[in-house]
Amino acid sequence: MKKKNPFGRILERDQGRRALSFILITALYLIMEAMMRSGNLSSLFQSLLVPVCCYIVAAIGLNLNVGVSGELNLGQAGFMSVGAFTAVCVSGYLSASVPSGILRLVLAILAGILSAALFGIIIGIPVLKLQGDYLAIVTLAFGQIIKSLITNMYLGFDENGIQFSFVENKTSLAPGGKMLLNGPMGATGTEKISNFTAGFILIVLSLLVVYNLIYSRSGRAIQACRDNRIAAESIGINITSTKLLAFTVSSSLAGAAGALYGLNYSTLVPAKFDFNTSILILVYVVLGGLGNMTGTMAATIILVLLPELLRSMQDYRMLIYAIVLILIMILTNNDTVRTNMTRVKNRIFAKKEGRA
Amino acid sequence: MEQERKALLTVQDLGIDFGGLTAVNSLNLTVYDKEIAGLIGPNGAGKTTVFNMLTKVYEPTRGTILFDGQDTANQSVVDMSRAGIARTFQNIRLFSKLSVLDNVKAGFHNREAYSPASAVLRLPVFRKKEAVIEEEALKLLSIFSLSEEKDTLASNLPYGAQRRLEIARALATKPKLLLLDEPAAGMNPQETEELMDMIRSVRDRFAIAILLIEHDMKLVMGICERITVLNYGMMLAEGTPEEIRSNPDVIKAYLGE
Amino acid sequence: MDFLSYLINGLSLGSVYAIIALGYTMVYGIAKMLNFAHGDVIMVGAYVVFFAISSFHMPLAVGLLLSIAVCTVLGITIERLAYKPLRQASSLSVLITAIGVSYFLQNAAQLFWSSSTKVFPSVLSNGALQLGGLSISYLTLVTIGTCILVMACLMLFINHTSTGRAMRACSEDKGAATLMGINVNLIISITFAIGSGLAAIASVLLCAAYPSVYPTLGAMPGIKAFTAAVFGGIGSIPGAFLGGLLLGIIEIFAKAYISTQLSDAIVFAVLIIVLLIRPTGLLGRRIREKV
């Protein structure tokens, strides 16, 4: 029966796992949507839905970079920032000419993806030649630079066209003109056109892109470069372009996530996407498991909700968050805990095999 | 019977310096189409360095490497793979977190290429190429008796199987010349015996030339048609196994005074 | 004259970075980990000195010694509790743990001492040394002097004591060091102790120059000093010294001659350019994988 699918073995092996991630996220979406419709979801939770989607998309992208490609990236928030502010500007600029919110959202997200991808390529080409911790620090530096640049950008438009200035606000708009970027104040007066459904669709698309990429020629090449650069080159894999592919897809997804995020709030400051945000996304990836997209989604949801669930603890919540983080890292890397987990895993696998 | 065969690889006056230290000097080496040739020499003679120059991991300081009639000056490692040189490594280098099958499939990278976009969109070209890769990769695995382990992680394979997998992966690139760096290292006499048969059958089945580095004299003398001896980065001798065995310089280099 | 005074200011800021960077680089060299909580140890040090001086009216020297003691103990405790169980874990797990420790310290500080900014008392006289037309504040002189002193002591310690030799051995090869009878765990603890002690010294210099104390005080100097350590070649002690000084000078010059707002962007851009030219930093050793 299994032989029917000639190209499908590779699909078969992880097909279950992949299907599971789609099923889980769809189920979760439907439940949330139903609860929202019936008014059973508190406004706090409702307000978290879109941000959770954004962080999931950014984390899926980062997992491609860190887990599958094996390069530590400490600047994912920088790419979110590029995507967010591009999208906010595009949406603001098109607000009159494209009245449909959905169409504008799609256009703005596409613009966010393209700009983040462009930055990914520009940054990736020189940087991916570096290795290990040096690569990590450069991505950190780029995150800082992007934040610093956007903090100093002034962009506006009126009937005479677009005006842009850098470091000092020299724009002088005619009456009726609109400021899109306002230096450290970021973007204000953005029309909120993001919604949960868009976030859900974005997650599904990101999963599709990442899975389809991993289980293909490119995915094998990306993992080959991670496992052994020298051997990968010896069989004709170009390391720079392979790593660049993973890096660019990762930053594009961050761009999409940022775009969705930016269009979910009426004001957005550049300082939102700082080093801490990059680290936060990295934490989701590491806790979810390197290369494990389902785990990444679960970790993101839990860790975004955790501080909110701990709200009753008030001042202690971030402290508890920190302790939980440290304990999880120590426990998951502890030999005894690990052995027990493998034992459980083996038992589950044994069951599956018995059934087949 | 022994007619003048076509030279696949011609190395002339090859040399490399590492920061003023000459590692290999004035090496001349020819590998003919479909022959099994050996490169031997005491430890530190520069054998692996020669492989690294042939595959352009190191760019030679002097001399020329002609492969398949083309000068390979300034070619990259990837170019050499595309041109048709594949290799294995002295210290096995597999893609440890990929399955055995995926290790071999990775070898098809340039043979059955398609764009990342067609993979993401699952276009017909993706399905067609992946079907070919799957079929060919499984064939290679069965040749190297690895079919049973196709879903095992490469790092979980026993040592001998890892060596075989490395050869299978190299062959997946469809090379014209296969470089084997100490394929029998760590094997017992019986495994070495099997390896000799395997190397011969690889040559016959894939119709390729093989150049191997080996310390096991029984293996080298048993399967190589011609042998080149290196000592201190210099070429010491070149000839048939019989000639090498009776060459006084070689005996001196190996046994000392 | 402007140029000279900028240069001296840069050296002063760079000295603080260098002292912090030394802590980063020593820990990296020996434990092979990026200790992102290092900046927050500075913050704790700053609070200790602040309370010692403001609330308990201790003299600066006593406050400093107390701060060094607290930070040293803190450094050793963090290492024992959080990092030691992860000796065999992937570097990424250790990195995340370090971030957890950083969150912990920041939030604990916020809980105990509130998030409001406290004004650090002026501890060094505001006087300045007049040299021709050039005015150099005593604080600047003290800062630069301290950095040179620290560096000299550290080099003497590393190169001329048996503990220093053991540290160098651990940074080369922990396995071999163990075989030679070196207590690697002890050496790692000592390294954290020294690094954290230096952080306490840096905290006083930092707060003397920028007199406000708050829970996230250590974050930016931490990142900058980390950058300085990478700039000089992470793991290299002279590299951290050089990287710190250069980073300080570049930052002050960028502020003075280009743009205050863009100074951070310029600092990080210089780092990237340096790494593209020298992929392992200014004084870092080149590692080449053997094929």
ipTM here? 0.93
- A316's enclosing H/E stretch is none
Please tell me if residue C272 touches chain B, with a CB cutoff of 8 Å.
Answer: no
Whether C211 is in a domain gets the answer yes
The pair of structure tokens assigned to C255 is: 């502020």
Do B173 and B114 belong together in one domain?
no
B131 assigned to some structural domain: yes
Same domain, B180 and B88: yes
- The answer to whether residues B40 and B213 touch, using CB atoms and an 8 Å cutoff, is yes
Domain hosting residue B126, numbered range: 96-156
> Is there a contact between B119 and A219 if contact means CB atoms under 8 Å apart?
yes
- Report the C-alpha dihedral over residues B29, B31, B32, B38, rounded to 10 degrees: 120
Q: Where does the pLDDT of residue C1 fall: very low under 50, low under 70, confident under 90, or very high at 90 and above? A: low
Residue of C nearest to B93 (CA): C291
In-domain check, residue B150: yes
Q: How far apart are CA A188 and CA A192, in angstroms?
A: 11
* B110 → chain A, closest CA residue: A236
Residues B59, B42 within the same domain: yes
What stretches of A310-334 show up as alpha helix (H) in DSSP? Answer: 317-332
Which domain CATH number covers B72? 3.40.50.300
For residue B77, give the nearest of A10, A223, A234 by CB distance: A234
Tell me if the pTM is above 0.80: yes
| A chain contacts of residue B101, beta-carbon cutoff 8 Å | 9-10
Q: Give the domain extent around A250.
A: 2-274
d(CA A220, CA B127): 16
Structure confidence by residue, pLDDT tens digits, C196-244 = 999 999 999 999 988 899 999 999 999 999 989 988 988 899 999 999 9
A69 → chain B, closest CA residue: B97
Measure A225 CA to nearest chain C CA, in Å. 14
Does the residue B2 lie in any domain? no
C283 located within any domain: no
Min Cα distance C286 → chain B (Å) is 14
User: Are B75 and B118 within one domain?
Assistant: no
CA distance A79 to A113: 9
CB A153 within 8 A of CB A166: yes
Q: Are residues B204 and B218 in the same domain?
A: yes
Residues B126 and B21 in one domain: no
Q: Which domain holds residue C115?
A: 14-125+135-217
Give a yes or no: residue C64 inside a domain. Answer: yes
Q: pLDDT tens digits for A288-336? A: 989 999 999 999 999 998 888 877 777 788 888 899 889 988 888 877 7
A215 in a structural domain: yes
How many distinct structural domains can be found in chain C? 1
Which amino acid is residue A108, in one-letter code?
Answer: A
In-domain check, residue A115: yes
Can you tell me the distance from the alpha carbon of C243 to that of A21, in angstroms, rounded to the nearest whole number? 46
Supply angle C-alpha A304, A306, A311, rounded to 5. Answer: 115
Q: State which of B137, B156, B175 marks the end of a domain.
A: B156
In a domain, C200, yes or no: yes
Kindly report, residue by residue over B31-59, the tens digit of the pLDDT.
999 999 999 998 888 999 999 999 999 99
Digit-coded pLDDT (tens) for C47-88: 999 999 999 999 999 999 999 999 999 999 999 999 999 988
* Subunits adjacent to chain B (3 or more Cβ pairs under 8 Å): A, C
The answer to the question of residue A48 being in a domain is yes
Task: Classify residue B1: in a domain, yes or no.
Answer: no
Choose one of B156, B180, B202: the last residue of a domain: B156
Nearest CB neighbour to A233, from listed B78, B114, B122: B78
**Which chain A residue has its CA at the smallest distance from C270's CA?**
A141
- Domains identified in chain A, total number: 1
Q: Binning pLDDT at 50, 70 and 90, where does residue A348 land?
A: low
One DSSP character per residue, A99-135 reads: --HHHHHHHHHHHHHHHHHHHHHHHHHHHTTS-HHHH
**DSSP reduced 3-state for B25:** strand
Separation between Cα atoms, residue A59 and residue A316, nearest integer Å: 26
d(CA A80, CA A258): 4
Look at B93 and A7 and tell me if their CB atoms are within 8 Å: no
Q: Looking at the domain assignment, is residue A176 inside a domain?
A: yes
pLDDT, tens only, A103-159: 999 999 999 999 999 999 999 988 888 877 788 888 999 999 999 999 999 999 988
Q: In what order do the strands lie in the sheet with B62-67?
A: B21-32, B7-18, B62-67, B70-71
Domain assignment present for residue C54? The answer is: yes
Asked if residues B23 and B46 have their Cβ atoms less than 8 Å apart, the reply is yes
- The Cα of C37 is separated from the nearest Cα of chain B by a number of Å equal to 32
Query: Min CA distance, B39 vs chain A (Å)?
Result: 20
Residue B217: Cβ-neighbour burial (10 angstroms; 0-12, 13-18, 19+) = middle
Subunits in contact with chain C (3 or more CB pairs closer than 8 Å): A, B
Name every chain C residue with its beta carbon within 8 A of the beta carbon of B54: none
Contact B83, B70 (CB under 8 A): yes
Establish if B40 belongs to a structural domain: yes
Which of B104, B136, B156 is where one domain is finished? B156
Distance from CA of B248 to the nearest CA of C (A): 32
Note whether residue C223 is domain-resident.
no
C291 touches B at CB < 8 Å = yes
Residue A67 resides in a domain: yes
